Structure 1
Amino acid sequence: MYENEIIYIKNAIKNAMDKELDKNKNSVNSNTSMKPTIPDVNLFINSMNNSVFEKVIFQDREDGRVNNFYYQTVFENWAITRIEEFTSSNQFGERTKWMRLFIKMYCEHLNRITIKIATGAHFNFKNKPKWDSNYTGGFLDLFHFLDYSSGYNNTIDSLLMTLKLNWNEDPIRATKMQSYCIDRIKEMKRMVEVNYFIKKDNPIFIYYDEIIERIEKSIDIELTKVLLKEKKQQTPKTDSEKVKFVLAIIGDNKWNATSPVFHHIKGVLSQNQISSKEARNIMLDLKGMHSPDVNRNVVEPIIEYLERIDFDIPNDSYLKNEEESQHPKHDPNMWNVECYNLFKYLFENYYKKTKRQITNIWFYLKEVEVDKYVFIATKDVYSDFIKTNYQIELKNWDKAPLKYAEKDLGTMNNHRINYEDSLK
C-alpha cells in the first residue's frame, strides 16, 4: 500500500474516532447534567480499615494539621520508580516527557483526591468536625477530574485526547502508551488497597474502574492491528526500497571508518519490521552498489554484526486483548507487570516445546540483574502456574549448568534485549 493511501486511511479513521469521542462526551454530559450522587459516608467508612488508618493519619504535626506524609511518601516512591523505568528504557521515545506528566499530574492528582476523601470519611468515623469539607470536597474534585461538569481543566478528557492525537501520529506507540496508562491506574488501585487501608468493596474503586474503561475506549485496538499489518507489508521489496534501507543501515558510517558504529541498526530493523537475517541478505545482494573501501570498512562489519545479533521481528502480542491472549491475567503475587511481560515474550519466542526451556525461564527470571523485573514465585508456585494455564507438568528441575551457561543464558539475554528494543 502506498504511503499516501495509508495517510488517507489514518486520517479517515481519526475523523471517525473524533466524531465518536464527541458523541460519547455529549452522552456523558447529558447523563450527568444533574449533580452526581456522592456515596454515603458510612458505606465508605465500613470499607476502610479504620484502626490501621488511624495509626498513620492521626500523627498530628506541630502546627496541628493532619500528617499525610506516609501516603505522599508511598505515592512518590512509586512515581519515582515508574518514571525511572520508562525513562531509562526510552520505550516511549519522544513521548517520554508526556508519560512523565501522566504520572506527575494525572496519577498524583487522583492520589491526592483519594487521600482527601478517605481522610474525610475517617474524620466522620472519629466524630471530627468539618469532615464533610474533605469528604464531599474530595468527591467534587473527583467529579471535576472525570469532567462530570464542563469548564474544568486537567480532566481525564485531556488525557484521552492526548492519546488520540498520539495515535494519529504513531498508532503502535500510542497503543503502548494506552496500555501503560491502564496498567498504572490498576496498580494505583492495588496500592490504595494495600497501603491506604481501603478494602476492595469501597465505592472509590468504581471511579478507578471508570477511568480504566474510558482509557480502554480511547483507542480502538482493532484499528491499530490493521495499521500494524499494513506496516509489516511495507518491508523493502523493490530495488529502490532496498537501496534506501541499506543506506539507513549504513547510517553515519563513513567509507574510511576504522570503527563502524551499530547502535542505530536495531532501530532501523524494528522500524522496517525486518529480521537481522533478512537485512543481512539485502546487504549481501547490494554489495555491488558500494566501492571496495565501503564494503571492506562498513558493509562487511555490518553484515557480521547482523549475523551476531539474531534480531527477529518484534512480537506484537502486547496488542492482544485478554480474550485472544494465550496467557492468563497478571498475578502480582508471582511477579510485577514488567517481569510478567518478559515471561510472556520468552514463552512465545524462546520456548520451543521442551520442558527444560520452561524451567530455564524460571532460573533466568530469578537471576536476571535488571531492577525493573521483580520475580517472587517459588518453583512450586511457578509449576502450578504452568500446569494450570498451559497444561504442562514440570517434574525435572535439572539446570544442566554447563549448557545453561554456554547457550541458554546468552539466548535468553538476547531475547530480553530484543523484547526491550521492541518497546522503544
Structure 2
Amino acid sequence: MAKTTTKKKVVSLKGRSEAWLSKESGKKAAIVEQDATQIAKLRTTMNNQKKIMDTADDFLKKTNGYNSQKEAYDAVATQLKAERAKLAKAKSKDKKSINAKIKSLQKQQTSIATTIKNISNSAEYKSQWNKRKAAKLKGEQAAQTLIAKQAKKAKDKDTAAKYKKALNDKKAAAHKKLVKKNSAAIQKKIKASKKAKGWNKGYTTAVYRADKKTSRVFLLGEVSPSESVEQNHVTHSVDAKDTRITHGNRSSKQLSGTYYLHGKSFREMDKLYNIFQGWQRKNIELEVRGFSRWNHAYISSIGKTMDAPLKNVLAIPITFDYEMRAHIKSAKKSKKKTKASASKKRGSTKSKKAYVTIKSGMTYWWISQKYGVSISWLEKNNKWPARAIPIGVKVRYK
C-alpha cells in the first residue's frame, strides 16, 4: 500500500494582530535557537567519538607489535606474488628452487598470520576494537543527523525571518498611523490656542516630541529668547604676520530664554513641569516652533520659578541644544615617509592660550575634568569666582 503524504499547512500572516505576531515570532526564534543547540550537541558528539577512535587506533597500531606484524605479512605477500609470477614463466630446471622458496614464504606467512590472530584475540585488543567500532557508528549517525538538522535550521530561520518581518511591518504601520493621528491632534491644539484670547491661553512657542509618540504639546509664552551659533575655524600660516582660514565647522547651536507655562493651579503646572523635565532626563528629541523653528532639539538645562502676582503662571528658564548631525570622514594614510617624522625635534615651542565659552551648566569642576587642569589653576588665571561664572564669557584653561 502506497504511503500518503500530507502537505504542511501554510499559515497566512496577513491580517494578524501585533500581539499574535509578537508571540509567534518569539516562538519561531526559540525554535531556531533549539536547532542551533542540537547542532552544537551533535558536533560535540562527533568530536568525542573521533577522540575515542583516535585513542583506539593508537592502541591497535602500537600494542603487541600488531602494526609491525601486519607490515611483515604484507611484505611476504608481495614476495609470494613475485615468486609465483616467476614460476609461471620459469624453465623446468628452475621450478624446483622457486617452489622451495614459495613454500618457505608460505610458512613465514602462516606464522605471521598466527601471531596476528593471537594479538587480535587478546581481551584488551578486542575491547579497543569494539570501542572503535561503536564510536565509528555513533559518529556516522551523528553526521547524518547533523545534515538533517542543518537543513531544518535553515528552513526554521527563513520562517522566523518572515514572522519577524511581518511583525516589524505591523509595528511600522501602527507607528505611522499613530504619528499621523498625533500630528493632527498637535496642530489642532496649536490652532485652537492661536484663536483663544487672554494671557492664560495665549502662547508664542510650541514644544512637542519629534517622534510624535504622544499628542502632548507644551504651549508656552516666550520672553527674551536668544539663539547662538558657535563655529570652529582652522587656520594655516601664510607668512609670519598673516593667517588664513582653511575650513570651519559648527560646534554648537543653542536657544535660551524664559518660557511661561500656564495652568489653573500650581499643582497642575508643577505636574506639567515634571513631565517636561522628564523629556530632558530621557533625552527625548523635540520640535520647537517659536522664535526659532527647530526640528531636532534637546533640552540642555531647565529650571522653574514663580513671580508672586502671577500665581497661575510658572516661569521656566530653558536652554535647548540643536542636534548636530555627524559627518564622518576617514583620513587616507600616506605611503610616503617624511624625514621630519624620523628626525628629533629641537628646541621648544611656546604654548598658546586656550579658552572655552561658558554655557549653561558649566563649572570650573566640569572644565577641569574635560581639559585636565586643576580648579585652583582655573581660579588663579580667570577673574570670575567658582560660584558666579557668567554665561557667555570665555574661561582660559591653557
The alignment's TM-score, normalised by the length of structure 2, stands at 0.28
* Greater per-residue helix proportion: 1
Q: Answer with 1 or 2: which has the greater Rg.
A: 2
The alignment's TM-score, normalised by the length of structure 1, stands at 0.27
